[in-house]
Amino acid sequence: MMARKKPYPHNNDILNAMLRVFSRESIIKPIDFPDKVREELRKEGFYVGLVSTKRIWRIYEEAVRRGFIYDYLGVVVGYGSEYWEE
């Protein structure tokens, strides 16, 4: 019997993976964030070969701007940490 292909993650799946990463780890460096999200998706059984870093950041920024999540990483201009703003 042939193995089924792993499903591609939808944007909601990626957002849920982000939330799981944030709930498990209190401090995450922005540079490590995309890899941690991909690893979380891989654990959930998704195919992550086509999940780009740009897509992860776009979903993160969109979620912050819509108010779904707080800017934990302090990378969205005008949101979250005042430390990065000058």
Amino acid at 25: E
DSSP secondary structure, 60-75, as one string:
HHHHHHHTSS--TTS-
According to the model, what pLDDT value does residue 86 have?
46
Number of domains in the chain: 1
According to the model, what pLDDT value does residue 2 have?
67
* Domain region containing 38: 1-86
According to the model, what pLDDT value does residue 3 have?
73
Please indicate, yes or no, whether the overall pTM of this predicted structure exceeds 0.75.
yes
According to the model, what pLDDT value does residue 82 have?
55
Could you give the angle at the alpha carbon of 84 between the alpha carbons of 78 and 63, nearest 5°?
45
> pLDDT 10s digit of each residue in the chain, 86 long?
667 888 999 999 999 999 999 999 988 999 999 999 999 999 999 999 989 999 999 999 999 999 999 988 888 887 655 554 44
